Amino acid sequence: MKKITVVLLVMLLVLSAVFAQGSSEKKASDKFTVGIVQFVQHPALDAATQGFKDALVAELGDKVVFDDQNASGEINNCPTIVNGFVSKKVDLILANATPPLQAAASATDTIPILGTSVTDYATALEIDNWSGTVGRNISGTSDLAPLDKQADMVKELFPNAKTVGLFYCTAEANSVYQIEVMEKYLAKLGYQTVRFSFTDTNDVSAVAQKATTSCDVLYIPTDNTAAANTEAIANVVVPAKLPVVAGEEGLCSGCGVATLSISYYDIGTATGKMAAKILKDGADIKTMPVEYAPQVTKKYNKSICEQLGIKAPAGYEAM
């Protein structure tokens, strides 16, 4: 009896080893599917997505497959896309911008979600007592350049201005957050502020037209709707000689005179490296803090500055 028991035990151990080896080999050979939902197509978000892909391919090579989707600037498209990813049981979701992050957060609490081009995670996810870590299946990177330094830039460029217009989409939670913070910083610097808000693309030109008669400078945060409509904004503000200080370089290149810019490609790259740690190394996303751009740069739009007769101070880099 003892001999039979020993033989059975040995057989079980051998089978367990074979099974473990087979599982290991399968895991090593499997491809990872990553669902990407980008809110809208414009240079900043495009750069973040590209940086993410490049970094993840550099780490995983042909073991990663991307399901790349674009919500075309429609918030209602985000849940549809994300729910499709959940149904397909993708291994990870990249949410590029705040509306996709919010949709992904509502759709799954098990699939790892990485955000990028998200300004403030506490605002986007309604988290009180923000500690830097979401604490669930979500982390990522922020595109926030210091708002106090952006306010200082307005003062540096336009010290004699009286009123600063704040131009943003009310449907974007992180745009509202930036405007609320900027109002306080600009007030400390002695400016009056006036809000010029819109709900979607259809209102952009009309609201920009209102701003041309009511303020000396226009500030636009990292707003995706505005970023997707820079030509429409420029067609209004440039002829009216209304300078725009923008929250990011893509906006500034289309309709602004200056920006305190981060590299969206760099934050996308950082997000891709986070994804590799999760997929390849088994890192726990719950403990991964949100990361920020390592540096910011003062930049100016030479073409629009020349049209408006504005000379950038020393320390500004031409885009």
Digit-coded pLDDT (tens) for 264-296? 999 999 999 999 999 999 999 999 999 998 889
Q: Place 40 in a pLDDT band, splitting at 50, 70 and 90.
A: very high
**Res. 73: pLDDT tops 70:** yes
pLDDT the model gives residue 30: 81
Write down the mean pLDDT value for the chain: 91
Higher pLDDT, 99 or 25: 99
pLDDT the model gives residue 13: 45
**Res. 5: pLDDT tops 60:** no
DSSP the chain: -HHHHHHHHHHHHHHHHHHHHHHHHHHHHPPEEEEEEESS-SHHHHHHHHHHHHHHHHHHGGGEEEEEEE-TT-TTHHHHHHHHHHHHT-SEEEEESHHHHHHHHHH-SSS-EEEEEES-HHHHHT-SS--S---SSEEEEE-PPPHHHHHHHHHHH-TT--EEEEEEETT-HHHHHHHHHHHHHHHHTT-EEEEEEESSGGGHHHHHHHHTTT-SEEEE-S-HHHHTTHHHHHHHHTTTT--EEESSHHHHHHH-SEEEE--HHHHHHHHHHHHHHHHTT---GGGPPPEE-S--EEEE-HHHHHHHT--PPTTPEE-
pLDDT > 70 fraction of the chain, expressed in percent and rounded: 91
pLDDT the model gives residue 29: 52
pLDDT the model gives residue 16: 47
Ordered by where they begin, the domains of the chain are 31-143+263-288 (3.40.50.2300), 147-261+297-318 (3.40.50.2300)
Q: What is the mean pLDDT of residues 16-39?
A: 65
